[in-house]
Amino acid sequence: MTEGTALLAGRYQVGALIGRGGMSDVHVGTDTRLGRRVAIKLLKPALATDPKFRVLFREEAQKAARMAHPTIVRVFDAGEETVTEPNGTETQVPFIVMEYVDGRLLKDIIADGPIDPKEAVRIVSGVLTALEYSHRALLVHRDIKPGNIMVTQNGQVKVMDFGIARAVSDNSATVADTSAVLGTAQYFSPEQARGETVDARTDLYSTGVVLFELLTGRPPFRGDRAAAVAYQHISEAPVAPSTLNPRVSPALDAVVMRSLAKDKFDRYQTAAEFRNDLEAAGEGEVPARREPAANDFNATLFGINPNATAGSEAALRQLSAPEDERLARTQSRPPVAWIWVGIVAVAVILIGVVFWVVNLPPTTLGENLSVAVPAVVGQTYDAGAKAITSAGLVPSSSQASSDTVPQGRIVSLTPKAGTKVGKGQQIDIIVSTGKSAVIVPSLANMTQDAAVAALQAAKLAFGTSTPTHSPSLPAGTVISSAPAGGTSARQGDTVNLTVSDGLVDIPSVVGQDIGSANSALTALQLQITPVGDASCTGGKVTDQSITGANQPQHSAITLHYCSGT
């Protein structure tokens, strides 16, 4: 549907195009029933090829329409319109009618360069206010990015497209290019890049990416391919914003780095918590962090309770007080002779102990007090942990990827094998999770040579190539891959390709109506020449010039049919 056509849904006049995205075009419009200005988002027809998508899309739009908050662009209406194309085919076009916002997209503002940190704090605080409201309504946005955030002429922040990303991602099998719908990989959370379940903390990670970009003028991770950027979100730490923009304070650095934590349990857990720390950092305050509670002490240090004097100078004052300020002793001093006897006795005991230690066998003391860390690198964790426990040490495991050590086997120890340590000491064991995770690149429509090069760049191995008929793709063009593009794999995994052989199978249409025969062969993209025979009637095909398997694409075929009346 274009500007100047019939009313959309019988009431919305579609006006000039004001925005274009990967999944939709946005027009200014008029609600003729209420006489108000609106924004009309027309989604790509490819999103409506499955009826299940239309049902899910309508449900999610209804949820978004129930949210009324100053920081969220209101949704007034949604549905789908049947549009007749110039070639006569009918297409279902999903649409959303939204509040019209007079302002600029945040992505256009960022294009002008980094903005003042205080203004960045104000904008992101508005985004977090919107997310706090939506998360309370149990609605996760999933696609927070500068292209979905607007700033009005008076500075009000508005977030749009709530619910749409959910409708698309839950029905991604019907979407030709899911990456265009769910936003660029620059704003993916690690769990989105791994294809895991998302929750409110996914939105907070994406908001942290937006904050980073506002402060520095660029996203934290960049690359030539979406898969490369997604991999960085999973495995690489971002730099502190202050390294790119000296105006960013250490407090803001801390907020950004916490919001971009790979583990969602290490980042902010709620939008309110994120906003409070962000606003505190914007005012120059170091965000408050919970510290572990101090252990309770009952001991006394030189007659002073450490808890009672913690954080003060009381203990030092007691120890350094003049003699006349201390409590008077209640017993008399022993005779001087007894003091010298005690000193001599202690000296004799010390000499005896030293003599005993010096004359011990060289290994006896070491064997009683320390043990060597067992050499278990390369073993399975269970076997290695058992050996370490048997040595009187305490195993503690963590995981890391490794290109050389198989999954489940020990990569390294800290302290290293052979090191002498005290019994009962903790030994940190790094266990391999296998080779690093990578995202399989989208290879469809590439030549086979280009697809193999893309696999090598992604550190994946090319397996087999299976030729398959295709009516449209030229010979040597990739039709699909296994695993499919966008899925997760391990470095070195094998990817097999299905490649067009440039051939088609032409069925016999003799005896069919000329219309049905023409449709069947048109789907194979053949060059059809119908030849009518007026000597017979009925419109049936009587002969065809080509039939059979493995025919060249776009072959010319002549159909003879009865055209008499």
Q: What is the DSSP string of 243-274?
A: GT-TTS-HHHHHHHHHHT-SSTTTS-SSHHHH
CA-closest candidate to residue 554, choices 449, 468, 469, 444: 469
Residue owning tokens 């030549």: 447
Local structure of residue 335 (DSSP, 8 states)? P
* Residue 364: its H or E element: helix 364-369
Neighbouring CB atoms inside 10 A of 4's CB total 9
Burial classification of residue 233, based on how many CB atoms lie within 10 Å of its CB (0-12 exposed, 13-18 middle, 19 or more buried): buried
Beta-bridge partners for 495 = 462
Residue 449, CB half-sphere, CA atoms under 13 Å: how many?
Answer: 1
Using CA atoms, how far apart are residues 467 and 503, in angstroms rounded to an integer? Answer: 10
Backbone angles phi, psi at 482, to 5 degrees: -135, 115
Q: What is the DSSP string of 14-79?
A: EEEEEEE-SSEEEEEEEETTTTEEEEEEEE-GGGGSSHHHHHHHHHHHHHHHT---TTB--EEEEE
Q: Which of 25, 143, 203, 493 is catalytic?
A: 143
Using CA atoms, how far apart are residues 472 and 235, in angstroms rounded to an integer? Answer: 39
143 is catalytic: yes
Give the pair of three-digit tokens for residue 5: 């056509």
Angle at 141 between CA 138 and CA 144, to 5 degrees: 150
Burial classification of residue 471, based on how many CB atoms lie within 10 Å of its CB (0-12 exposed, 13-18 middle, 19 or more buried): middle
Give the pair of three-digit tokens for residue 540: 């049936």
> Per-residue b/e over 103-135, b at no fewer than 16 CB within 10 Å?
bebbeebbeeebbebeebbbbbbbbbbbbbbbb
Using CA atoms, how far apart are residues 360 and 540, in angstroms rounded to an integer? Answer: 111
Residues noted as catalytic: 143
